[in-house]
Amino acid sequence: MKEGARPFVVGLGGTTRPDSSSQRALERALAVARSLGAKTELFAGPFLAALPHYDPYEPASGGERARFMDAIRRADGVIIATPGYHGSISGLVKNALDCLEDLRDDVRPYLDGRAVGCIVAASGAQAAVSTLGALRSVVHALRGWPTPLGASLASPRLFDPEGEFCDARDAWQVEGVAQQVMAFAGLGLRAPASPV
């Protein structure tokens, strides 16, 4: 990020269900990032559902997948939100993350040098915690820098009819993830160059 430039934060996640809890939590996190000065771009459930299944022999050459790759390339921070499906991340989110293989030969490969916030919405604590662990492992494998705080949202009802979090602890977690992404996004995080 250039000195004085606004950080660019990409959000990806959600489900095919309109107004899903994970997407609403992601939208809240991006709103917090914007309030702290970020430019943001959201790749939500419907976008993720339209991505073709990742094929390593078909690199992005145009269209929506290429637009997604370009946004990640430019990102200073990334926030990922997934539902907890059977103890792990959803297929939609995993497919989008698999597409990041297209960035393997970049100067900043995969998620290298990017602060990554992780948010999970699940119906129970066990699914939320195991999914958060799985998501953080994927981010590590992609050379990302997961924020120390990850949001594990396991309330039976996350949002009230007005769209506000029902539990102040859930709001605190999501806002904290966004704040940490913003705090780390401007630090110029970089892994050491590989000796091989």
Q: Could you tell me if 127 and 99 are in contact, meaning their C-beta atoms sit under 8 angstroms apart? A: no
Domain membership flag for residue 40: yes
CATH number, domain at 42?
A: 3.40.50.360
Residue 194 lies in a domain: no
% the chain with pLDDT above 90? 74
More confident residue, 66 or 119: 119
The string of pLDDT tens digits covering residues 37-96 is: 999 999 999 999 999 888 888 766 668 888 999 999 999 999 999 999 988 999 999 999
Task: Name the least confident of 22-36, 53-67, 157-171.
Answer: 53-67
Does a structural domain hold residue 191? Answer: no
What is the rounded average pLDDT of the residues 9-18?
A: 93
Residue 38 lies in a domain: yes
Q: CA dihedral in degrees (73, 75, 77, 81; nearest 10)?
A: -80
39 found inside a domain: yes
- pLDDT at residue number 189: 52
CA atoms within 13 A on the CB side of 9: 34
Q: Are the C-beta atoms of 31 and 173 separated by less than 8 Å?
A: no
Tokens 């948010």, residue?
Answer: 119
Based on the structure, what is the number of domains in the chain?
Answer: 1
Map tokens 């050491």 to a residue: 192
Q: Judge whether 192 lies within some domain.
A: no
Q: Which domain holds residue 117?
A: 8-185
Sole residue written with tokens 């009230």: 160
Q: Can you give the pLDDT at residue 124?
A: 86
Model pLDDT, residue 21: 94
> Are 147 and 118 spatial neighbours (Cβ–Cβ below 8 Å)?
yes
Residue 112 lies in a domain: yes
Tell which residue, 170, 191, 132, 184, has the closest CA to residue 28: 170
Handedness of CA 66, 35, 162, 173 (dihedral sign): positive
CA dist., res. 13 & res. 135, Å (int): 12
* pLDDT score at 54: 87
User: From CA 187, how far away is CA 146, in angstroms rounded?
Assistant: 14
